[in-house]
Amino acid sequence: MIARRLSGASGWLTTLRQGLVMLLGIGALLVILLPLIYVLWISFTPGELLQPPTGQWSWRWYSLFFASPQWTQGLLNSFWVAGMTVVGSLLAGGGVALAVTRYHFRYAQLISGAVLLPLFVPAVVLAMALLPFVHRIGLWGTKVSIAAGHSLWSMPVAFLLIRSALEDLDPDLEQAAQGLGAGAITIFRRITLPIIAPAMIVGAIMAFIISLNEFVIALFLGTSATETLPKVIWPNLRYTLTPLVAAASSVTMGLTLLGVALVILVFRVGRIRH
């Protein structure tokens, strides 16, 4: 009887603890999301001030955003830079991940650590280091230079994801294919690539999101002809506080949330397949 009562009390305490942890997590999430929700709310105001709509909601500032060549060109530049960043981060991060997991050489651990260094370098330091270099090679002010800087920042993410997928891959599959006469390219194309594809897709989406929202590197390496959307937002946020800034921020936020949703979808599909 006593044991049963103790067991019941323990189960009740466990349920209470789980409930408190869940409430704490939901509260923390709301604190994080509240400013984003508030910005989205402001973007629908019909007025001229950064105030939420009290009565009528309006698409006025979104219409102005998509009608303005400056804002739409900034968004288009962001897409171009993000696309090049995806290619650069996947090629560099995936190549290093493949090298350190499939080939045994002396400095593999050192190279793995070096790839992760940009994660611990502030964006302003990275941008200042890249500025004289891109000036020297004649790429300053181009989308390529911004994409290269963004690739340095997103490459560690792609590297970690692809390396994890390669480490989980059963090496017996590749060895069996090799024993049957398949070449290295055929093995990679028919066996390795399909298995690590979800990790590559997630890495590509994460690189796209990082590039889309990055500001400091774009500020140092871009010009008025190549400015990305965050760089267009910055002076308007400092000098002309209108709901147009909230609309532009909401567009960026919507694209980011779409990318996060795609990441979750890829993970769910991967779980179902496994």
What are the C-alpha distances in Å from 32 to residues 27, 35, 36, 257, 265?
Answer: 9, 7, 8, 14, 22
Contact 51, 241 (CB under 8 A): no
Q: How far apart are CA 197 and CA 23, in angstroms?
A: 36
Q: Residue 30 pLDDT > 60, yes or no?
A: yes
Tokens at 17, concatenated = 């603890």
Q: How far apart are CA 236 and CA 240, in angstroms?
A: 5
Tell me, what's the pLDDT at 156? 93
Tell me, what's the pLDDT at 183? 73
| Half-sphere exposure (Cβ direction) of 163: Cα atoms closer than 13 Å | 22
Q: How far apart are CA 28 and CA 1, in angstroms?
A: 41
Tell me, what's the pLDDT at 190? 81
In the chain, count H helices and then E strands: 12, 0
Within 8 A by CB and 6+ apart from 103, the residues are: none
- CB-based burial of residue 239 (10 Å sphere; 0-12 exposed, 13-18 middle, 19+ buried)? exposed
The radius of gyration computed from the CA coordinates of the chain, to the nearest angstrom, equals: 24
Contact 88, 159 (CB under 8 A): no
Q: What pTM did the predictor assign?
A: 0.85
3-state secondary structure of 165: helix
Tokens at 57, concatenated = 């909601």
Q: How confident is the model at residue 55 (pLDDT cuts 50, 70, 90)?
A: confident
Please report, as a single letter, which amino acid is at residue 254: G
Q: Residue 273 pLDDT > 90, yes or no?
A: no
* Least-confidence region, from 41-50, 52-61, 136-145, 181-190: 181-190
Q: Residue 218 pLDDT > 80, yes or no?
A: yes
Q: Token pair 């650069």 is at which residue?
A: 88
Mark out the alpha helices in 60-190 (DSSP H runs): 60-67, 69-102, 108-116, 123-136, 143-168, 171-179, 184-187
Q: In the chain, what percentage of residues exceed pLDDT 70? A: 93
Q: Residue 6 pLDDT > 70, yes or no?
A: no
Q: How far apart are CA 4 and CA 2, in angstroms?
A: 5
Choose among 257, 181, 175: nearest CA to 212: 257
Domains of the chain: 62-273 (1.10.3720.10)
| Segment 89-113 mean pLDDT | 87
Please report, as a single letter, which amino acid is at residue 240: T
3-state secondary structure of 238: helix
